[in-house]
Amino acid sequence: MRKTLLIFFLIGSAWAQTSYQSLDIAYHVRSLGMSGSGVADVLGADVSSLNPALLSGKEKTLILSAVRYPATVQSQLAEWRMAVKGLSVAATFRGVNYGNFKERDRDGNDLGSFSAGDAWLNVAVAKSLSPLADVGISAGMFQSSVGDVTAVLGLVSLGGRVTIPQLETSLGVSVRNLGTTVQEYTSYTEMIPTSVAVGVTRKMEYLPLILSADAVWWEKRSLFRLGGEFALPKGLFLQLGTSSFRSDLQTGELWRDIASGFSLGFGYSLQRVSVGFAVANSGVGGMSLGVGFSRRF
């Protein structure tokens, strides 16, 4: 169990805290392909957690995605977006399944099996203040379970975005995972991984590329992310990404280190339907694979 969770925490790229690491992973295939970047990216699908302000102006849309991490850890995302009285609203479910595990006593006797998993339900609302500025907020409940032990959190995230049309650039800022602990695993109080993120996304002038760069700060650690999406002919697209977490994955083995910490995604968009696939290489942590689907109505 401990080995499985450790691997998952490594690929989550969030060593800033000691618990609740699934609050900071990429749940959507596009975010996986761009190494989690996109605080200012209006095309992102993880916007209700990255920056709820990016939800502003979105069409009625169904979004589904699943990611398989090393050690058979799996995550799922389902989101429904719609407009309500001038507001953009999204209802989102995110889940993580760590699998089933054998429990033994100190003498090695089998005590049965148990499972571990997380579930996160939230609602995000965004509003356009002007053609150049948007704000958003998301709120929800997060539950983490290991066997018969459960922790419950109440969480709120805030975000804003400003557009600079002359530069084809967006600037974003978000404060994520402000909250309170409703129920603890044990008598020990675990720290909620609250973070502050700023990002810039720009459509390049001479390339069919949208480039995003983010910086994220937790209490004890910072992380820098870089990702981009190339628009290819016939509705195809290609995503690339990396982050400063790559330096923590180096092993001294040249060929392994060259590919460690990079992610790649590709997909196809046709009218109102989009499908995508992504892979992220966490070096010794293993490979993560994701698939996603969206349908605009």
Best-predicted range by mean pLDDT among 24-33, 101-110, 254-263?
24-33
Q: Residue 8's pLDDT is what?
A: 46
* Number of separate domains in the chain: 1
Q: Residue 3's pLDDT is what?
A: 44
Confidence check: pLDDT of 163 > 90: yes
CATH code, domain with 160: 2.40.160.60
What's the CA gap between 229 and 110, in Å, rounded?
50
Domain that holds residue 11: 2-296
What's the CA gap between 198 and 50, in Å, rounded?
10
Confidence check: pLDDT of 9 > 50: no
Q: CB neighbours (10 Å) of residue 153? A: 21
Q: What length does the chain have?
A: 297
Helix (H) or strand (E) holding 120: strand 110-130
- 7: pLDDT confidence band, cut at 50, 70 and 90? very low
What's the CA gap between 36 and 59, in Å, rounded?
23
Q: What is the pLDDT of residues 23-53, one digit of tens each?
A: 999 899 999 999 999 999 988 888 888 899 9
Q: Residue 109's pLDDT is what?
A: 77
Q: Residue 110's pLDDT is what?
A: 78
Confidence check: pLDDT of 5 > 80: no
- CA distances to 114, 116, 135 from 66, rounded to whole Å, are 23, 17, 28
Q: Residue 138's pLDDT is what?
A: 97
- 6: pLDDT confidence band, cut at 50, 70 and 90? very low
CB-based burial label for 142 (10 Å; 0-12, 13-18, 19+): buried
Confidence check: pLDDT of 2 > 60: no
pTM for this predicted structure: 0.87
- 101: pLDDT confidence band, cut at 50, 70 and 90? confident
Confidence check: pLDDT of 14 > 70: no
State both tokens at 114: 């148990």
Where is pLDDT greater, at 65 or 189? 65
For the chain, what is the radius of gyration of the CA atoms? 19
Q: What is the pLDDT of residues 193-209, one digit of tens each?
A: 999 999 999 999 999 99
Q: What is the pLDDT of residues 236-255, one digit of tens each?
A: 999 999 988 776 666 666 56
For range 124-137, the mean pLDDT: 96
Q: Residue 147's pLDDT is what?
A: 86
Dihedral sign, Cα of residue 211, residue 276, residue 265, residue 242: positive
Confidence check: pLDDT of 292 > 50: yes
For range 52-74, the mean pLDDT: 93
Helix (H) or strand (E) holding 209: strand 209-217
- 151: pLDDT confidence band, cut at 50, 70 and 90? very high
Q: What is the pLDDT of residues 261-273, one digit of tens each?
A: 899 999 999 889 9
Confidence check: pLDDT of 139 > 60: yes
Q: Residue 13's pLDDT is what?
A: 42
- Looking at the DSSP assignment, which residues form a beta bridge with residue 216? 197, 223
